[in-house]
Amino acid sequence: MSDSRKSVRLGLVQTCATENPSDNLERQIALLRDAASKGANVLCTQELFLTPYFCQSEDHSFFALAEQIPSGKSTRAFCALAAELGVVIVASLFEKRMDGLYHNTAIVVDADGTYLGSYRKMHIPDDPLFYEKFYFAPGDLGYRVWRTRFATIGVLICWDQWYPEAARLTALQGAQVLFYPTAIGWHPAEKEHHAMQHAAWETIQRSHAIANGCYVASVNRVGHEKGAGGGDGIVFWGQSFVSDPSGQMLAKADHENECVLVVDADLSKIDETRTHWPFFRDRRIDSYGEITRRAID
Amino acid sequence: MSDSRKSVRLGLVQTCATENPSDNLERQIALLRDAASKGANVLCTQELFLTPYFCQSEDHSFFALAEQIPSGKSTRAFCALAAELGVVIVASLFEKRMDGLYHNTAIVVDADGTYLGSYRKMHIPDDPLFYEKFYFAPGDLGYRVWRTRFATIGVLICWDQWYPEAARLTALQGAQVLFYPTAIGWHPAEKEHHAMQHAAWETIQRSHAIANGCYVASVNRVGHEKGAGGGDGIVFWGQSFVSDPSGQMLAKADHENECVLVVDADLSKIDETRTHWPFFRDRRIDSYGEITRRAID
């Protein structure tokens, strides 16, 4: 059914996090309502919207921020909201799977309020101020898609966006839209690299749209968070965007402010684009086996 | 040895083909000499520079344009030239492998004139005016790199450029520079799509540089070729370019004229870029196996 729908309206919610998770959840819900009131029917939050980006330091106390899925408060809130508004919701949460085991996870809720399942971030970064390997076990659910009421969607998270393999493996399952909840920003001291870093980030994600002939919706955090790392923290660069299946930027959000980006995605363009650029037809699947090697040396 | 060299000067030769292969070879050699005189030490031709892009129609007579590798005239000419000038040459040729078996092939010649080997185009397109499946059997040599005197290089050809798998499998073998001899252009009647097509072409190739932290050098044909297809033919868009390992465009050639593009590539930037964007460290090689499937359905 979802494949026959020709258009879907995407709603990307880009926010600044405060120290108060309840406040962030309340504000997120208000912004999701705003997106739905503008006709958006598939909505997505940024990565870990419920809290500041706590991975700027390694602190055991932050594990208390995690919640269970789907029994936790946030999942229940989004299921209720999705049912009330008749929208699909993708939300990025800090998952406590069991004592001492945590994941960076996105939940997918269908438009009738049904919890459809989760994606657990597969590629976990570890860089100065992005100490995610301390907090998150690597995902073990693989790459997934969900046939929601409005579209077949896949979800990947932040660092995943640099890996063409992740996009490909999700698209091969039929994803029409790849969502990337994200928390990426600049170290204020590295200003000379900003334009290059941001261009690379847009380019790699637009390339996934091109290579796979699908929509890409990237939802990024915004605002300056000092963090507990002792330095200047991170300036999250916002600029959430949607790319069409030929890599064209359909819309882009502000780099400083909280906002809702509502974008129409004509799903019939997927078949049209892939028919004219028949990349899937010509994949040399007999020759890709060694992609599972760390290096070919 | 090649890995310790810090800089290499790339020479990209972008030409307009005439109907006369001898003329095209002579002009190519003159332009390669020009590039070498400007200090370039790793040189590359566009795709099938020796002839007009004959794949605009399916005509058995064009098979006579092919030559054997390495015993044919062109390979011998490039080996002699490479030895004389002390440069590495990558040249794209129409290979006759045996009676009735042809490939779209690139040869690699080291700076002492040694023929190092060939890459046979793995992904073969077939679109209106690009009837390559009629002429070329799919490559059976896989993805390859060569440790030349000046750098470790890989070669992929045109349609390959849309496949992240091809770039990855070449980079995993240690390629510092990915060369893409190319013949891509516009149908004059589709002018409204030109900007989109060209942007996608640049984006996908810059994304290979980013994902793999290596240089990408794309060498494209230029000029309007009417072809034997009966229509307006193809306007090859030139604009050969070199991207650095973070996806930044270092230099770009003209869209109308024959030219030589000489660009310095600092090979130490590869390690620096990959260390700061450690994508190779975090690849989930345990999760990529299904990339060898046509679709995951």
Percent helix, percent strand, percent coil in chain A, to nearest 5: 35, 30, 40
- Residue contact B248–A164, C-beta within 8 A: no
Q: Is A2 within a domain?
A: no
ipTM: 0.97
- C-alpha to C-alpha distances, A113 to A108, A121, A192, nearest whole angstrom: 10, 23, 46
Residues constituting chain B: 297
Tens of pLDDT, residues A271-297: 999 999 999 999 999 999 999 999 999
Tens of pLDDT, residues A212-266: 999 999 999 999 999 877 789 999 999 999 999 999 999 999 999 999 999 999 9
Q: How many CB pairs under 8 A join A and B?
A: 164
Q: Which amino acid is at A167?
A: A
pLDDT band at A2 (very low <50, low <70, confident <90, very high): very low
Q: Give chain B positions within 8 Å (CB) of A138.
A: 284
Q: Give chain B positions within 8 Å (CB) of A184.
A: none
- Nearest chain B residue to A295 by CA: give it: B172
| B133 counts as catalytic | no
Per-residue pLDDT, A190 = 84
Of the listed B67, B79, B96, B121, which one is catalytic? B121
| B79 counts as catalytic | no
Average pLDDT on B9-34 reads: 97
Checking DSSP bridges between strand A7-14 and strand A259-266, what pairing results, if any?
A: antiparallel
Q: Is B129 within a domain?
A: yes
Q: Is B251 within a domain?
A: yes
| B121 counts as catalytic | yes
Kindly tell me the burial class for residue A69, based on how many C-beta atoms sit within 10 Å of its own C-beta (0-12, 13-18, 19 or more).
buried
Per-residue pLDDT, B5 = 61
Which member of B173, B199, B276 has the closest CB to residue A296? B173
- Could you tell me what percent of chain A has a pLDDT over 90? 94
Which member of B162, B197, B277 has the closest CB to residue A279? B162
Report yes or no: A75 and A107 within 8 Å, Cβ to Cβ: yes
- Residue contact A203–B196, C-beta within 8 A: no
Which member of B173, B210, B282 has the closest CB to residue A159? B282
Q: Give chain B positions within 8 Å (CB) of A173.
A: 295-297
DSSP readout, A172-217? TTT-SEEEEEE--EE-GGGGGGHHHHHHHHHHHHHHHHHHHTSEEE
Tens of pLDDT, residues B176-235: 999 999 999 999 888 888 899 999 999 999 999 999 999 999 999 999 999 876 789 999
Per-residue pLDDT, B231 = 84
Q: Give chain B positions within 8 Å (CB) of A289.
A: 292
Per-residue pLDDT, B54 = 97
Per-residue pLDDT, B87 = 98
Per-residue pLDDT, A133 = 98
Report yes or no: B274 and B280 within 8 Å, Cβ to Cβ: yes
- Residue contact B290–A174, C-beta within 8 A: no
pLDDT at B3 over 60: no
Q: Give chain A positions within 8 Å (CB) of B136.
A: none
pLDDT at B4 over 80: no
Q: Is A172 within a domain?
A: yes
pLDDT band at B240 (very low <50, low <70, confident <90, very high): very high
pLDDT band at B26 (very low <50, low <70, confident <90, very high): very high
Average pLDDT on A188-192 reads: 84
Which member of A196, A277, A283 has the closest CB to residue B248? A196
Looking at every residue in chain A, the average pLDDT score rounds to 96
- Nearest chain A residue to B161 by CA: give it: A211
Q: Is B2 within a domain?
A: no
- Nearest chain B residue to A127 by CA: give it: B276
Give bridge partners of residue B224 from the DSSP assignment.
Answer: B235
Q: Give chain B positions within 8 Å (CB) of A282.
A: 123-126, 159
Catalytically active residues of A, by annotation: 47, 121, 158
Q: Is A290 within a domain?
A: no
Q: Give chain B positions within 8 Å (CB) of A132.
A: none
Q: Name the residue among A61, A104, A55 with its Cα closest to residue A228.
A: A55
- Residue contact A204–B207, C-beta within 8 A: yes
- Residue contact B291–A295, C-beta within 8 A: no
pLDDT band at B35 (very low <50, low <70, confident <90, very high): very high
CB count within 10 Å of CB B252 equals 16
Exposure letters A185-221 (e unless 16+ CB within 10 A, then b): bbbeeeeeeeeebbbbbbbbbbbbbbbbbbbbbbbbb
pLDDT at B72 over 80: yes
Per-residue pLDDT, B2 = 43
Range of the domain at B228: 7-280
Mutate to test the interface with B, among A158, A198, A210 (most CBs of B within 10 A): A210
What is the CATH number for A144? 3.60.110.10
pLDDT at A18 over 80: yes
Give dist(CA A282, CA A241) in Å, integer: 29
- Residue contact A207–B164, C-beta within 8 A: yes
Mutate to test the interface with A, among B145, B207, B210, B249 (most CBs of A within 10 A): B207
Per-residue pLDDT, B190 = 84
Handedness of CA A22, A26, A28, A32 (dihedral sign): positive
- Could you tell me what percent of chain A has a pLDDT over 70? 98
Structure tokens at A63: 């594990």
Of the listed B16, B55, B79, B158, which one is catalytic? B158
In eight-state DSSP terms, residue B71 is T
Which member of A125, A173, A294 has the closest CB to residue B285? A294
pLDDT band at A189 (very low <50, low <70, confident <90, very high): confident
pLDDT at A3 over 90: no
Per-residue pLDDT, A5 = 61
- Residue contact A211–B277, C-beta within 8 A: no
Q: Is A293 within a domain?
A: no
With 0.90 as the threshold, say if the pTM is over it: yes
Q: Give chain A positions within 8 Å (CB) of B166.
A: 284
Tally the C-alpha atoms within 13 A of residue B11's C-alpha that lie toward its C-beta: 26
Tens of pLDDT, residues A56-109: 999 999 999 999 999 999 999 999 999 999 999 999 999 999 999 999 999 999
Q: Is A295 within a domain?
A: no
Looking at every residue in chain B, the average pLDDT score rounds to 96
Average pLDDT on A124-153 reads: 97
Count how many domains chain B has. 1
In eight-state DSSP terms, residue A286 is G
